Chains A and B, each alone.
Chain A
Amino acid sequence: MRTKRISLYILSQAAKLLTLLIAISILSFMLVSYSPIDPIRAYIGGDMLRVSPEQRANIEEYWGLNEPRVSQYLNWANSILHGDLGTSLLYRSPVAQVIAERFVASLALMAIAWLLSGIFGFILGIIAGMKKGTWIDRLIKGYCYVLSATPTFWLGLVVVIVFSVWLGWFPIGLGTPAGILEQDVSLTDYLRHLFLPALTLSIIGVANIALHTRTKLVETLNSEFIWFAKAKGEKGLKLLWRHGLRNISLPAISLQFASFGELFGGAVLTEQVFSYPGLGQAIVEAGLGGDVPLLLGIVLFSTIFVYVGNLMADILYKVIDPRIRKEWN
């Protein structure tokens, strides 16, 4: 019974992801194909003047650009199904390889920001919720509202000005020091370059989780079971630990997993400000430089990334919450 339910769940989730990917790929392919991007110009770049119309027609023929859009899409989708995402026009290497390299750099950035913003947001939310109505609650709330209204790129610029330009504590940008060979870069160098982008992304992520946790805690503290727990003589931090945390951590955890989309969006802007060589920067370059295969590849990849986040939130709920867990068994 249980195995059957779990396999059904996996099947339905896989079907959902598949239909989502098909829909996204059709939509983004359409958008790109109607956009003014000229893939041949993007491919040849500055040498365009030296390409004769005949040569151009030959390339178009070779790439299948003369075929109807539907068959162009089917060709592309067919090769993706065979594991070939195409070749990046800007990096001149397979799209899958570019995404893999860039994603590792982004992953470090996003993982740190995700953890830090989750932990600090949760703690700030608890403090504000417990001290509801006091100056410290107002301070935390105000801070979160200001953060929510702050554009990521602007915060990134402020952080660069303060910590790199004025104080000179951290490098201004890039993922590694300029002019040093890859094998000579130390771990400290990596971390020093990672720090400011991660800080920016963490600060931005705090607001959401803190405000949600605060509201949930206030709601929980007003509930009848907290009232009864107090009547039983429980109080203070022990009361919060026994009855509060259990009831607020579930929504916080699932919210944090469901925020992969915002995390990725934030990373795009942050990496741009810091010239940090991650996936976010790659997607901007691909868009501006007309690198269609890379652009579409990253679109599909980020779809899977965000979907996996939401899926994890869903599964965690099923594993942790006894109400859903028992129903599940």
Chain B
Amino acid sequence: MKLQQKEEPLPDLLEKDQPLLEVKDLSLSFRQYREGLRETDLQVISKLDITLYKKEIVAVVGASGSGKSLLASAILGLLPENAFLRGTINFKGKPLSPERQEHLRGEEISLIPQSVSALDPLMKTGKQVQAVIKGKNKKAVQQEIFDKVGLPSKTSNSYPFELSGGMVRRVLAATSLASSADLIIADEPTPGLDPFALKETVNYIKQLAENGKGVIFITHDIETALKIADKVAVFYAGQTVEIAKVENFCGSGENLRHPYTKALWNALPQNGFVPLPGSQPLLSEVAEGCIFHPRCPVKTDLCKKKQPESKSKNGEMVRCFYA
């Protein structure tokens, strides 16, 4: 009897245990034409994993070109036409098919975009935000949210060119606040913000998570990531090399498991300012072995020959033979 009860968990327990978003073994390549008509596939993401629960903020950290923003496009289903995607993306337990993505965009999945040119230059900002609000009183709801993020009430009648960069970022954040989405993807929402506006934006995003939403916070700023996130996923050349809890970023990084994460942590000014020699390769440039081995301080012959599989434990993950 007791065993049977264990096998049938309570519905809300199931709800709690089920990840909001689950990305497993995701690979992405672009079809390209080189040297005339010869078709080649340019691999940009391989073996990407990420798991997100409700009320959780996972920061995705990595250098430019590590595939961070492409992850956002892949989840939204807005990749360029020549992109080819493999692997699994589950949202609320069910796979995200293109039809489902089209249906869920703006409804259950919302994006805070990276670029300040994401607003239509010829449409008043208020109207652009109202597009994601359901039901009546769109105008009132939008006005309320503008108040909340500290935008003056006349902003609603302004065109994007009349706003400063910081104000546009607030409008973009307001779009996500206004939507009823459960998953928020914030694609580098912070660069160019002054410390005050940065703190505010971080607070909005934390608020979103407290209200029960899941947030993927894409950034190359590891310090901001640590301030806001519960877990940090470190991307390197299109792979997730480690997913670590925020608490583990401390001291000289002895709790961090992947050498790249350690190097990132120790490169921060307050942690020794130690740079990691070399630069991030293209995924296609590393023919075999671990993607990080050319720059790894602890590499062995094994690392040059074989790709490490990912090892997961308690929601944390690492892709290294020696972690």
The distance in angstroms between the C-alpha atoms of A220 and B156, with both chains bound, is: 23
- Selected from B105, B111, B121, the residue in CB contact (under 8 A) with A247 is B121
Min Cβ gap A87→B in Å is 52
Give A288-329 as 1s and 0s: 1 = Cβ < 8 Å from B's Cβ atoms.
000000000000000000000000000000000111001000
Whether B123 lies near A243 (C-beta < 8 A) is yes
8 Å CB contacts to A: which residues of B102-120? 102, 105-107, 110-111, 113, 115, 117-120
B102's nearest neighbour on chain A, judged by CB, is A235
B120 touching A233 by the CB < 8 A rule? no
Known contacts A234-B131, A235-B102, A228 near B119 by CB under 8 Å: yes
A50 in the interface, Cβ–Cβ < 8 Å? no
Q: Are B105 and A246 in contact (CB under 8 A)?
A: no
Known pairs A231-B76, A232-B175, A326-B159; A225 contacts B119 (CB<8 A): yes
**Smallest Cβ-Cβ distance to A236: which chain B residue:** B102
Q: Is the CB of B78 within 8 A of A229?
A: no
The answer to whether B132 and A232 touch across the interface, beta carbons within 8 angstroms, is yes
Q: Are B131 and A229 in contact (CB under 8 A)?
A: yes
Q: Interface range on chain A: under 10, 10 to 19, 20 to 34, or 35 or more?
A: 20 to 34
Whether B118 pairs with A228 at a CB distance below 8 angstroms is yes
Answer whether A230 and B159 are a contact pair too, CB < 8 Å, given A224-B113, A225-B120.
no
Q: B111: which A residues are within 8 A, CB to CB? A: 228, 231-232
Chain A residues numbered 219-257 whose CB sits less than 8 Å from any CB in chain B: 223-225, 227-235, 242-243, 246-247, 250
Contact of B105 among A232, A243, A321, A323 (CB under 8 A): A232
Q: Count CB-based A-B contacts (< 8 Å).
A: 68
Q: In the complex, are the beta carbons of A224 and B115 less than 8 A apart? A: yes
Proximity string of chain B (112-150) to chain A, C-beta cutoff 8 Å, 1 when within and 0 when not: 010101111111000010011000000000000000000
**In the bound complex, CA of A235 to CA of B179 (Å):** 16
B33 at the A interface (CB under 8 A): no
Contact of A230 among B78, B115, B117, B119 (CB under 8 A): B78
Q: How distant is A284 from chain B, measured CB to nearest CB, in Å? A: 44
- With A322-B159, A323-B161, A326-B159 as contacts: A233 and B107 at CB distance below 8 Å: yes
Q: Determine if A233 and B105 form an interchain contact, defined as CB atoms under 8 angstroms apart.
A: yes
Q: Which residues of chain A come closer than 8 Å to B132, judged between CB atoms?
A: 232-233
Determine whether the beta carbon of A247 is less than 8 Å from that of B159: no
Residues in A with CB closer than 8 Å to B117 are: 223-225
Q: Mark B162-173, 1 if CB is under 8 A from A, else 0.
A: 100000000000
Known: A225-B118, A246-B122. A231 touches B105 (CB 8 A): yes
Shortest A250–chain B CB gap in Å is 8
Q: Which residues of B contact A321 (CB under 8 A)?
A: 122
Tell whether, in the assembled complex, residue A231 and residue B78 are in contact, meaning their CB atoms are under 8 Å apart: yes
Complex-state Cα separation, A227 to B78, whole angstroms: 7
What B residues does A232 contact at CB under 8 A?
Answer: 105-106, 110-111, 131-132, 175, 179
Q: B103: shortest Cβ distance to chain A, in Å?
A: 9
Given contacts A242-B123, A321-B122, contact A228 B159 (CB under 8 A): no
Note all chain B residues with C-beta closer than 8 A to A228.
111, 113, 118-119
Which residues of the partner chain B approach A223 to less than 8 Å between Cβ atoms? 117
Nearest chain B residue, comparing its CB with the CB of A233: B106
In the bound complex, CA of A104 to CA of B115 (Å): 53
Expressed in whole angstroms, the Cα–Cα distance for A229 and B120 within the complex equals 8
Q: Hey, which chain A residues are within 8 Å of B106, CB to CB?
A: 231-234
Question: Most chain-A CB neighbours within 10 Å: which of B110, B122, B123?
Answer: B122
The CB with the most chain A CB atoms within 10 A, among B78, B102, B123, is that of: B123
> 27 interchain pairs (CB within 8 A)?
A223-B117, A224-B115, A224-B118, A225-B118, A225-B121, A227-B78, A227-B118, A228-B113, A230-B76, A230-B105, A231-B78, A231-B110, A232-B105, A232-B110, A232-B175, A232-B179, A233-B106, A243-B120, A243-B123, A246-B122, A247-B120, A250-B122, A322-B122, A322-B161, A323-B121, A323-B161, A326-B162
Nearest first, the 8 closest Cβ-Cβ pairs linking A and B are: A233-B106, A228-B118, A231-B111, A232-B106, A246-B122, A225-B120, A233-B105, A322-B159
Residues of B that sit less than 8 Å from A by CB:
76, 78, 102, 105-107, 110-111, 113, 115, 117-123, 128, 131-132, 159, 161-162, 175, 179
